[in-house]
């Protein structure tokens, strides 16, 4: 049985989608620092809260202690970020899917750390699906293989970004701007803002790590 872990950080709330739309059977919610309050405010039930919680008021902390069955409170001085600790716990619990909310917007260092962290975890756990989601974007990370992708009227713009190294053999089929076994250097803007021209497309590549971002204007 697949186990989906939804991790909510304390990013700008205007960028966090309606979390109730993501509540499904076998979904486990993890609040990262102030993200645990966002889960509670959405009428959902956090299974775990992780962080130093230095931004939480004492009266709010008492409410969190009542509502959250498992709390992991850390000192601010540590090697891992709170988000990294939350993902590590999800992996310990044999996650099949890890979706992150509240990890974009605000501080760019937090966003970059979260996005690149997904690439590292994907390398180490290739069978797990990792996504970073906000109201405007869905970010996912992919290893060499062939993938099917379906048209999404809401998030129709699709970008492919090599991370850590170049990507080799990238083929895009069913796209407005197709490619055939193309070498895409890291840092290249070649594959930014593409679109599907049919209901279903495909992308594949032979070597590297590819970040895919689906966006709306």
pLDDT digit string, tens, across residues 90-137 = 999 999 999 999 989 877 888 888 899 999 999 999 999 999 999 999
What pLDDT does 143 receive? Answer: 97
Q: In which band, very low, low, confident or very high, does the pLDDT at 17 lie, cut at 50, 70 and 90? A: very high
**What does pLDDT average to over the chain?**
90
Whole-Å CA distances, 94 to 29, 115, 137? 14, 21, 26
Decide if 4-135 and 142-215 have a common fold. Answer: yes
Sign of CA dihedral 55, 58, 59, 60: positive
pLDDT digit string, tens, across residues 175-209 = 999 999 999 999 888 899 999 999 999 999 999 99
What pLDDT does 123 receive? Answer: 94
What pLDDT does 107 receive? Answer: 78
Rg (CA), the chain: 18
Instruction: Match 């070649």 to its residue by tokens.
Output: 190
How many degrees, rounded to 5, is the angle at CA 84 between CA 80 and CA 85? Answer: 80
What pLDDT does 24 receive? Answer: 84
Strands, E assignment, 23-166: 27-32, 48-51, 71-73, 97-101, 129-133, 137-142, 145-150, 157-162
What pLDDT does 76 receive? Answer: 65
Q: Where are the domains of the chain?
A: 4-135, 142-215
What pLDDT does 214 receive? Answer: 97
Question: What percent of the chain shows pLDDT beyond 90?
Answer: 63
Sign of CA dihedral 100, 105, 107, 112: positive
Q: Which CATH superfamily is domain 142-215 in?
A: Thiamin pyrophosphokinase, catalytic domain (3.40.50.10240)
What pLDDT does 79 receive? Answer: 60
pLDDT digit string, tens, across residues 55-79 = 777 777 777 777 777 777 777 666 6
Q: And the tokens for 68?
A: 């959250």
What pLDDT does 58 receive? Answer: 73
What pLDDT does 168 receive? Answer: 98
CATH topology of domain 4-135: Rossmann fold (3.40.50)
30-45 average pLDDT score: 90
């Amino acid at each position: 049985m697949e186990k989906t872990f939804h991790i909510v950080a304390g990013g700008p709330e205007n960028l966090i989608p309606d979390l109730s739309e993501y509540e499904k059977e076998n979904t486990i919610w993890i609040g990262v620092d102030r993200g645990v309050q966002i889960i509670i405010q959405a009428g959902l039930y956090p299974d775990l809260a992780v962080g130093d919680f230095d931004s939480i008021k004492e009266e709010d902390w008492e409410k969190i202690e009542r509502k959250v069955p498992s709390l992991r409170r850390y000192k601010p001085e540590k090697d891992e970020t709170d988000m990294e600790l939350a993902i590590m716990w999800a992996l310990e619990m044999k996650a099949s899917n890890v979706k992150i909310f509240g990890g974009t917007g605000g501080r760019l260092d937090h966003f970059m750390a979260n996005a690149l962290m997904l690439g590292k975890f994907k390398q180490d756990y290739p069978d797990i699906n990792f996504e970073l989601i906000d109201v405007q974007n869905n970010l996912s990370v992919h290893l060499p293989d062939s993938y099917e992708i379906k048209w999404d009227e809401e998030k129709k713009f699709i970008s492919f970004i090599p991370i850590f190294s170049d990507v080799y053999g990238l083929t895009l089929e069913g796209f407005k701007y197709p490619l055939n076994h193309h070498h895409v250097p890291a840092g290249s803007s070649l594959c930014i803002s593409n679109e599907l021209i049919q209901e279903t497309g495909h992308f594949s590549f032979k070597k590297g790590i590819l970040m895919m971002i689906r966006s709306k204007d």
